[in-house]
Amino acid sequence: MPTSQLPKSLSETDFRFSNQTSIYHGKVRDVYGIGENLLVMVASDRISAFDVVLPEGIPYKGQVLNQIALHFLDATRDLVPNWLLGSPAPNVSVGLRCEPFKVEMVIRGYLAGHAAREYAAGKRVLCGVEMPEGMKENDAFPEPIITPTTKAAEGHDADISREEILAQGIVDEADYLLIEHYTRALFARGSAMAAERGLILVDTKYEFGKREDGEILLIDEIHTPDSSRYFYADGYAERQKQGQAQKQLSKEFVRQWLIANGFQGKDGQQVPPMSPEWLMEISARYIELYEQVTGKAFQAVAYAENPAQLAEQTEAFLNQLRKADNF
């Protein structure tokens, strides 16, 4: 595919909203603080792997991430309160500002990804949690395990145990027990919703924050291909029996491509070139995941062609919030 035929991607934003107090460019999202109480989160088309932002954006990825997150945030409000107030544009969410906990709650139902790599290296304890002997990659754990990581502003997140989190005072015990409860409840709901779509939710992560009044909210996004791994349920058991790779929907295929091309985010390694054909393949896989997970047809919006329109739509939504709720 000639590069000229590749849809434009939105790799960065630098908006200026009314009453804007801060801006933070994360690995994938640009987060704008509005006054004391609101956040605007723009899901860019950036893609990261091994905690490194890759040099090329993926067309429509931001829309996929944002709309999957909206789907699951709306579907889990009865379990866990969350930060979301609305979505004024395909890749934009607006919600309540919280003080984030400095841990990410990773939960794993299956021996896959990082856990599988650690297991293959001979480790049987991950984040203080014992993993049974005799497991094969992609086997189910007897019950889901929680393997938190520190939340690094830059560089690599690091595995950490519940005991270390409490001992270091990163999260106090009452709050940690609640977010652990929320993590298991969200994973159970996400697993049930995945099963309805013929999928297995393999593992995922959740982030939580605390409001000034002490309320703990689910923040950021959930159950997207950037934070989650899915297998197709059909044929899972037979593939395990035969020792075959699982058919999956996740970002893992990007990681495996990078590994095959000599990159794992280690010092001195260079990201391999990403052709237009490969970028479109990644985009198509993201869209496939959206449609498979939500059961909805994806309606691509060319928001990258006119970022100013994103800003205008978001500003109008913020004005509505100010008028209605005195934000």
pLDDT at 156: 62
Asked whether 23 and 33 are in contact (CB, 8 A), the reply is: yes
Asked whether 261 and 272 are in contact (CB, 8 A), the reply is: yes
CATH code, 100-250: 3.30.470.20
pTM higher than 0.85: yes
Q: Which CATH architecture has domain 3-98+277-325?
A: 2-Layer Sandwich (3.30)
Phi and psi for 201 in degrees, rounded to 5?
-80, 110
Nearest of 251, 141, 247 to residue 199 by alpha carbon? 247
- In tens, the pLDDT along 128-160 reads 999 999 999 999 999 999 999 998 655 567 999
pLDDT at 3: 44
DSSP bridge partners of 41:
31, 93
| Tally of CB atoms within 10 A around 264 | 12
- In tens, the pLDDT along 30-53 reads 999 999 999 999 999 999 998 899
Helix crossing, 61-75 with 173-196: angle to 10°? Answer: 110
| Tally of CB atoms within 10 A around 22 | 10
pLDDT at 2: 41
| Tally of CB atoms within 10 A around 105 | 24
Asked whether 214 and 12 are in contact (CB, 8 A), the reply is: no
Burial of 172 (0-12, 13-18, 19+ CB in 10 A): exposed
DSSP label of 243: T
- The ranges of the chain with pLDDT < 50 are 1-3
pLDDT at 154: 56
Amino acid at 103: V
Radius of gyration (Cα) for the chain, nearest Å? 20
Tokens found for residue 166: 């409490």
pLDDT at 240: 97
Spans of all domains in the chain: 3-98+277-325, 100-250
CA diameter of the chain: 61
